[in-house]
Structure 1
Amino acid sequence: MKRELGISVYPDHSDPEKDKVYIKKAADLGFTRLFMSMLEVQGGEEATAARFKNIIGFARDLGFEVILDINPGIFEQLGISYDDLKFFADLGASGIRLDEGFDGLKESLISYNPYGLNIELNMSNNVAYLDNILSYEANVPYIYGCHNFYPQEGSGLPYDFFVECSQRFKKHGIKTSAFITSQDALTQGGPWNVNDGLPTLEMHRHLPLAVQANHLFATGLIDTVIIGNCYASDEELESLAALDRYCITLDVDYVPEVNPIEKKILEDNLHFRRGDITAMTIRSTQVRVKYADQSNPPHDNEYPFKRGDIVVGNDEFGRYKNELQIVLEPHQDSRKNLVGRISENEIFMLDYIKPWSKFKFENHN
């Protein structure tokens, strides 16, 4: 399934013109999903409809798929029923998110709504909710899954629980989403009066935006990554847009003595971990063949290497000269040059480089 990027806006709490500027920036960078939250009816049904229709129409014209998160109280306030979603279709929404569940049969019936609205289910509960809905022969292509976000520090999902919840949807081929949080909008831009960021995973709350997205995509469990809070900075949006959604990309800080051939080895190649793995290092061996005739004098080889260090075989390493390795277990070997180190924020990503996994390096300094 193709992977996507998304943003969020909250018309109940924001300036529509600022929302449009933000949406246009994201569209120009290739973002394609917009999450919106309808929390209350302000100024009556007509005023609410006009406010949301304005933003939704603008986003749809720019190619966004717009999912509207519905507060259950909205249905009562508007006097409408889950059995007739015409109101949301008239707004121009692509789908609605059901934060609260029914009995399974109700969701299956909603998935056959005549307006072709996608129905997004809450993924952040480790129960057989989806299986129950599918047992009622739901209209599967119109069923999506989306995790919650968590505004309060310490309230986000733990990683293992997130995996268990996500696997329940992924095994059925359901399109999945989760939230990451802008660091530049950490205390603003959400639907509630508590804004400690809006991530799905607690471990992401204070990480750079692109690192969060890189992680979610690397799990293989999430198809759409959405920035939960707004407004992310231009730099954050650009970093996210530049991210390879299908290949783990690691940011490297070079040592001062790194030489041109070592930089070529790192940056000019798509690497993959050997299938016959070792516990001590992640080995990328094809580069030693490609650069076999290139000299690589020893340097930075006198001290023990630690986890996250990137080393390349030097001229004293025989047939292993110019082999690239990422250190997993501390060791010392004078036949290897220390060329750089993975950013501290990304050391945990090494756990996702499995046998035959592809990975790349970038240097942002």
Structure 2
Amino acid sequence: MHRLGISVYPEKSSKEEIYNYLTLASHYGFTRIFTCLLSVTKSADEMMQDFTEFMNQAHQLGFEVAVDTNPEVFKKLNASYNNLEPFARMGVDILRLDGSFGTAQDIEITHNPYHIKIEFNGSVDQGAGLMVEHGANREQMTICHNFYPERYSGLDWDLFNKLNKHWKSYNFTTAAFVSSNAPDTHGPWNVFCGLPTVEIMRGLPIDLQARYYLATGLVDDIIIGNAFATEEELKALSEVEFDCISLKIDEEVSMTDVDRAIVYDYFPHWDRHDHSSYFLRSSMVRLQYKDTSIPPVPYKQDHFKKGDILIVNDNLAHYRGELEIALRDIPNDGERNCVGHVKEEELMLLDYIQPGAYFKMLK
């Protein structure tokens, strides 16, 4: 099951701003919160008071809260790997370990009696899989990637997927960060270039970042790393399809009402199991339009390119109405009308539509 999350940094904003943000995110179906104790400079007593109040508000709105910690935070709160009572008193649901106590101690902390989940860093291999093999409680373990404030420092996309395949081999729940593109956002540190996990996601529309993560089939929870995202961004994430790959397209001016019905209204589109390397084929739609004339429309290019949205026309009547998406250059032989194009920044999504997989186009 996929969940959406936000990040808040109580020492950076007023209580009113934070509560309003939590309320808005809750309205759009967000159920996770990430927050950070590493950057808090207040005394232990003040930290305990402020974050306990924050946790209570978050729980009332239905959120599960993860806090980023390290051994120094434990020491400050008079906690230890075998004594999480201060965090339990605070109301923490998930303890993210930014650093290790050692393998034996990290195994022991997963057996804590407060049922606080222990979250390990997914962007490096801290040995969470090895811990499971040596007695760690997998039911109280979860994985969350880092975010990267510094431009160009985010994870490589291929490494991100390699790591997630590793975590999924142990059946861990995984989480990763997307980044708001709103002006004047912040994180725990004074760096303001967004907070994504993967570098190539920095600056992309926030819903597209999420759709890339979901397309891999390796990311469960998606968390906005910086605060505060706009309501438009929260809404956009809340509308992302979790169960199929969705694509935004640019329409051709020649697109007809019949074309729009085939592209947008027919669902589910799914690529044939007998997959072609030349195009994705949504074949069942043609049964609905087999008796509908689709006149050929001249197209200025002699070849279709990757991402072109094609509909078979009257010149190939047996397949008339079939929707296809080009995966490579294909000669324009007059049998297909080009009705639109997958947006340039979304083309990589096509690589994740496997034979038999559902997909849809977004208006």
- Give the corresponding residue for 2:128: 130
Q: Which residue identity does 2:328 align to in structure 1?
A: E
Please list, as runs of the form range in 1=range in 2, the aligned pairs for 1:180-191 lying within 5 A after superposition: 180-185=178-183, 188-191=185-188
Please list, as runs of the form range in 1=range in 2, the aligned pairs for 1:227-238 lying within 5 A after superposition: 227-238=224-235
User: Separation in 1 of the partners of 2:8 and 2:70?
Assistant: 15
- Give the corresponding residue for 1:356: 356
Which among 196, 200, 203 is matched to residue 203 of structure 1?
200
- Give the corresponding residue for 1:100: 99
- Give the corresponding residue for 2:152: 154
Map Cα deviations across residues 232-290 of structure 1 (whole Å, 9 max, x no partner): 11111101000111210111221122111111111112111111111211111111112
Is structure 2 residue 307 aligned with structure 1 residue 308?
yes
Shift in CA distance, 116/106, structure 1 to aligned 2, threshold 3 Å: same
- Give the corresponding residue for 1:334: 334
| Cα RMSD, aligned residues only | 1.4
Which among 249, 252, 271 is matched to residue 249 of structure 2?
252
Q: Which residue identity does 1:333 align to in structure 2?
A: D
Equivalent pair of 1:12/1:39 in contact (CA under 8 Å):
no
Shift in CA distance, 181/35, structure 1 to aligned 2, threshold 3 Å: same
Q: Which residue identity does 2:106 align to in structure 1?
A: E
Moved more, 250-259 or 223-232: 250-259
- Give the corresponding residue for 1:81: 80
Equivalent pair of 1:154/1:202 in contact (CA under 8 Å):
yes
- Give the corresponding residue for 1:58: 57
Is structure 2 residue 17 aligned with structure 1 residue 14?
no
User: Separation in 1 of the partners of 2:6 and 2:356?
Assistant: 32
User: Separation in 1 of the partners of 2:42 and 2:320?
Assistant: 71
User: Separation in 1 of the partners of 2:34 and 2:115?
Assistant: 18
User: Separation in 2 of the partners of 1:313 and 1:40?
Assistant: 58
SS of 1:229's partner is coil
- Give the corresponding residue for 2:345: 345
Equivalent pair of 1:8/1:226 in contact (CA under 8 Å):
yes
Q: Which residue identity does 1:337 align to in structure 2?
A: N
- Give the corresponding residue for 1:282: 280
Moved more, 173-182 or 296-305: 296-305
Q: What are the ranges of 5 or more consecutive residues in structure 2 without an aligned counterpart? A: none
User: Separation in 1 of the partners of 2:362 and 2:40?
Assistant: 47
SS of 1:275's partner is coil
Q: CA deviation at 1:80?
A: 2.4
Q: CA deviation at 1:91?
A: 1.2
Give the number of aligned pairs. 360
Q: What are the ranges of 5 or more consecutive residues in structure 1 without an aligned counterpart? A: none
User: Separation in 1 of the partners of 2:298 and 2:190?
Assistant: 51
Equivalent pair of 1:301/1:335 in contact (CA under 8 Å):
no
User: Separation in 2 of the partners of 1:275 and 1:6?
Assistant: 35
Q: CA deviation at 1:104?
A: 2.3
Identity of matched residues, %:
38
Q: Which residue identity does 1:256 align to in structure 2?
A: V
Map Cα deviations across residues 294-347 of structure 1 (whole Å, 9 max, x no partner): 111122434232111101011111211111011111221211111111122211
Equivalent pair of 1:104/1:136 in contact (CA under 8 Å):
no
Equivalent pair of 2:71/2:101 in contact (CA under 8 Å):
no
Which among 217, 220, 244 is matched to residue 220 of structure 1?
217
Q: State the TM-score, normalized to the length of structure 1.
A: 0.95
Q: State the TM-score, normalized to the length of structure 2.
A: 0.96
User: Separation in 2 of the partners of 1:220 and 1:358?
Assistant: 13
Q: Which residue identity does 2:326 align to in structure 1?
A: V
- Give the corresponding residue for 1:242: 239
User: Separation in 2 of the partners of 1:321 and 1:330?
Assistant: 21
Is structure 2 residue 141 aligned with structure 1 residue 143?
yes
Q: CA deviation at 1:71?
A: 3.6
Q: Which residue identity does 1:196 align to in structure 2?
A: C
Q: Which residue identity does 2:203 align to in structure 1?
A: H
Is structure 2 residue 109 aligned with structure 1 residue 110?
yes
Q: CA deviation at 1:103?
A: 2.9
Q: CA deviation at 1:40?
A: 4.5
